[in-house]
Amino acid sequence: MFMSDVLYEKRGHTAIITFNKTADLNALSEDFLQKIGEAVDLVEQDEEVYTLILTGAGKAFIAGADIKEMYEKDADSIMVWSSLGSGLNLRLENLKIPVIAAINGYALGGGLELAMACDIRIASEKAKMGLPEVSLGVICGAGGTQRLPRIVGEAVAKEMIFTGKKVNAEEALSIGLVNRVVPPEKLMDTALELAAAIERNGQIAVGTAKAAINFSGTSDLEEGCLFEREIFSKLFETEDQKIGMGSFLRKEKDFKFKN
């Protein structure tokens, strides 16, 4: 399916959203954010989609919020953009299915904020990432100051945010900002292989694992373990649990989960 600046396609159980506003490096305008949101609607409405891959066309994943559009804004009107950006990122983070960012090039400012709301980040060797907002006289407004320290630790996050410097793919790997780095031509195949490896498993279990891991970011250990135990036990009401464990006991290798 083609939605002007945002491409949406499905390959088996994998949905792919490609940011395709290459003239301004996929800068996040309000209109573009709405369109990305509409593509995410398609993902949410389709129970046959088990994983989502986000990537960019051209030399950027997303080079940040649209600076032209933001320049004229005041404190009230920027809140609209910020709520849209934050809201989209929270939506991606809370989607029931795993979301993979395949970072093809620049992921700056709001672009890195969006990538950080994804569950797994794979970077092309060409990728460059950073939160350069202080160089524009502002700070992140879509979760960057909150997610970066959770991913890479506070000291590294402070250095990146205070300096606004860009890190390349290898540096991003060394600080844990991305899961792996691959040559540009292998980026989509790697993301699709990862998606396929996830899709072989019980999808209710995968979604439950995502919810449990996300909960760990906002809870103390005791609360988290309690939450895990509760949703772990609910999985024993699913057919997938009987299929997965029964197939192991019967030594059947070739089985499919119900999902």
Instruction: Give the interface size with ligand HXC as a residue count (CB under 6 A).
Output: 22
- Give the one residue of 67, 80, 90, 197 binding ligand HXC; rule: CB under 6 A: 67
68 binds ligand HXC (CB under 6 A): yes
**DSSP label of 217:** T
Matching residue, tokens 């996830």 = 198
Is residue 73 a contact point for ligand HXC (CB under 6 A)?
no
Binding-site member from 6, 15, 16, 27 for ligand HXC (CB under 6 A): 27
Instruction: Determine whether 133 is an active site residue.
Output: yes
Helix, strand and coil percent figures for the chain, each rounded to 5:
55, 20, 30
List 30, 38, 113, 222, catalytic entry: 113
Which C-beta is closer to ligand HXC: that of 65 or that of 181? 65
Determine the Cα–Cα distance for residues 240 and 255; give it in Å rounded to an integer.
Answer: 11
Contact 119, 50 (CB under 8 A): no
Site for ligand HXC contains 64 (CB under 6 A): yes
CA distance 214 to 11: 27
Q: Which of 20, 55, 82, 208 binds ligand HXC (CB under 6 A)?
A: 82
132 is a site residue for ligand HXC (CB under 6 A): yes
E-strand spans in the chain? Answer: 2-3, 6-11, 14-19, 51-56, 60-62, 99-103, 106-108, 120-124, 128-130, 167-168, 180-182
66 makes contact with ligand HXC (CB under 6 A)? yes
- Interface with ligand HXC by CB under 6 A: which range of 78-86, 148-156, 204-212, 223-231? 78-86
For ligand HXC, the binding residue among 56, 85, 202, 244 (CB under 6 A) is 85
Nearest to 197 by CA among 54, 122, 98, 118: 98
Query: Which is catalytic among the residues 133, 170, 171, 199?
Result: 133
Question: For residue 156, what are the CA distances in angstroms to 5, 119, 141, 144, 150?
Answer: 34, 20, 19, 13, 10
Please say if 113 is a catalytic residue: yes
With binding defined as CB under 6 A, does residue 106 bind ligand HXC? Answer: yes
80 binds ligand HXC (CB under 6 A): no
Measured CA to CA, the distance from residue 209 to residue 213 in angstroms comes to 6
Considering only 60-68, 114-122, 148-156, 169-177, which stretch makes contact with ligand HXC by CB under 6 A?
Answer: 60-68
Question: Counting contacts by CB under 6 A, is residue 99 touching ligand HXC?
Answer: no
Residues numbered 139 to 158 that lie near ligand HXC (CB under 6 A) are 140-142
Gap between the Cα atoms of 51 and 74, Å rounded: 38
84, 91 contact by CB (below 8 A): no
> Taking contact as CB under 6 A, which single stretch among the options 6-14, 133-141, 173-181, 229-237 is the one that binds ligand HXC?
133-141
Positions that interact with ligand HXC (CB under 6 A):
24-25, 27, 63-68, 81-82, 85, 106, 108-110, 132-133, 136, 140-142
Catalytic residue IDs:
113, 133
